[in-house]
């Protein structure tokens, strides 16, 4: 092929530009550590990365929600344990006071004790996590139990998503657990305690005896609610572990899809730099090859 000067310079510029561009590209990959920056770097991976970003955001959100629910359920569980302990104490008092050896004043004192239990339970059932009353059902903004024990909450049970599409109960149905609403043979715990207090104050041993069965049912109701909370807490803990694993998997997938193999990137950079050096050397040498050099040399020699 006939080699012309313009062709020589144009090709040199083109090859050097290309080599320089390869170095820039390899340096960008090596310094950023990313294989996919633009969608055209790997269109399929770019699409999957977009989905992966949504997945990661969702898993993080679900974990945050589950942790929030867990805080409420743990608070509910502690409250129910306290209610249960208080009910056990009340039952013990009731059983004790059915004994004929106790006087009316002693029973009245026990009645006062039961009344303080009632206030204690009301206080515990008005537990808040943040601004939320955990036993109010959907009525989370106001205290669900008045000082007289009237329930102003509802029977709603919120659901928390523990993985996409799967939910567990996030609160205790206090209407069922405390008021016995919708529970076969259910009793109102506070009414039962109030009946016991009344019987104690009036020295009514028959009334005290009659309160024992409802108290037993009350303990069963609270135990049942506690078991439900335990199930939800277990499910949430399991879900949180699974969620963390899924998040790790998603992060690994994102890394596999978008991150550069650093060893490969460093090798590519070294290779591109060497190619650029070779190209520049070849260009410099080709420019020295001109008849003009030899003619001028012979002229000056002459």
Partner 1 sequence: MNLLALLSSTASSLQAQQTVVAVSGDNIDNASTPGYVQQQANLEEVGPGVVVGNSTVGDGAEVASITRTTDSFVEAQMPAAFSAASSSSAEAQALEGVTVLDTSSSNDLASALGNFYSSMEAVTQDAGNTSLRQAAIASAQTLATSFNNTSQAIESARSGIDSQIAGQVTQVNELAAQVAQLNGQIATTEASGGNANSLLDSRQTALDTLAQLAGATTVSAQNGEVSVVLGGGLALVSGNVAGALTATADASNGGHLAVGIELPGSSSSSSLSQGALGGSIGGEIAARDQVLGTSLASLDQLAYDFANSVNAVHEAGYGLDGVTGRPLFDVGATASGASGSIAVDPAVANDPSALAASASAAGVPGDGSQLQALVDTENQGLTGGLTATQTLASITTAFGSAASQAQAVSSQDAGMLTNLQTTRASAEGVSIDEQLINLQQAQRAYEAVSRVIQTTSNLLDNLLQLT
Residues lying near partner 1 in the complex (CB under 8 A) are found at 1-7, 9-11, 14, 32, 34, 36-44, 46-51, 53-58, 60-62, 64-65, 68-69, 72, 130-132, 136-141, 154, 156, 158-161, 164-165, 167, 170, 258, 290-292, 295
What's the rounded Cα separation, in Å, for the pair 87 and 93? 10
Taking the least distance from each CB to partner 1, the nearer of 90 and 143 is: 143
Both tokens assigned to 125? 């059932």
Closest CB 14 distance from partner 1, rounded Å: 7
Taking the least distance from each CB to partner 1, the nearer of 117 and 135 is: 135
Q: Comparing C-alpha atoms, which of 100, 96, 99 is closest to residue 88?
A: 96
- The distance from CA 163 to its chain's CA centroid, rounded to whole angstroms, is 10
- To which residue do tokens 């898993």 refer? 59
Closest CB 145 distance from partner 1, rounded Å: 15
Closest CB 78 distance from partner 1, rounded Å: 18
Taking the least distance from each CB to partner 1, the nearer of 57 and 213 is: 57
Taking the least distance from each CB to partner 1, the nearer of 245 and 295 is: 295
- The distance from CA 151 to its chain's CA centroid, rounded to whole angstroms, is 31
Q: Which residues pair with 163 in a beta bridge?
A: 166
What's the rounded Cα separation, in Å, for the pair 64 and 178? 29
What's the rounded Cα separation, in Å, for the pair 302 and 288? 22
Closest CB 36 distance from partner 1, rounded Å: 6
The 3-state DSSP composition of the chain as helix, strand, coil percent (nearest 5) reads 70, 5, 25
Closest CB 87 distance from partner 1, rounded Å: 26
């Amino acid at each position: 092929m006939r080699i012309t000067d313009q062709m020589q310079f144009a090709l040199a510029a083109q090859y050097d530009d290309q080599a320089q561009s390869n170095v820039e590209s390899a340096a960008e990959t090596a310094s950023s550590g990313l294989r996919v920056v633009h969608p055209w770097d790997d269109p399929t991976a770019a699409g999957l990365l977009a989905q992966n970003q949504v997945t990661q955001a969702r898993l993080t959100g679900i974990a945050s929600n589950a942790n929030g629910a867990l805080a409420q359920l743990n608070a509910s569980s502690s409250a129910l344990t306290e209610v249960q302990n208080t009910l056990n104490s009340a039952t013990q008092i009731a059983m004790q006071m059915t004994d004929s050896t106790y006087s009316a004043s002693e029973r009245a004192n026990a009645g006062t004790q039961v009344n303080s239990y009632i206030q204690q339970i009301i206080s515990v059932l008005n537990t808040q996590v943040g601004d939320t009353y955990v036993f109010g059902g959907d009525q989370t903004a106001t205290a669900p139990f008045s000082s007289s024990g009237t329930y102003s909450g509802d029977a709603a049970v919120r659901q928390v998503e523990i993985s996409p599409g799967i939910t567990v109960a996030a609160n205790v149905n206090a209407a069922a657990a405390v008021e016995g609403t919708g529970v076969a043979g259910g009793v109102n715990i506070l009414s039962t305690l109030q009946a016991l207090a009344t019987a104690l104050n009036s020295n009514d041993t028959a009334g005290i005896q009659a309160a024992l069965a409802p108290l037993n049912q009350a303990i069963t109701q609270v135990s049942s609610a506690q078991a439900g909370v335990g199930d939800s807490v277990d499910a949430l803990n399991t879900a949180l572990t699974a969620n963390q694993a899924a998040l790790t998997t998603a992060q690994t997938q994102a890394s596999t899809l978008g991150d550069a193999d650093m060893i490969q990137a460093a090798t590519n950079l070294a290779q591109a730099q060497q190619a650029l050096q070779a190209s520049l050397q070849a260009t410099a040498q080709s420019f020295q090859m001109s008849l003009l050099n030899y003619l001028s040399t012979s002229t000056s020699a002459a």
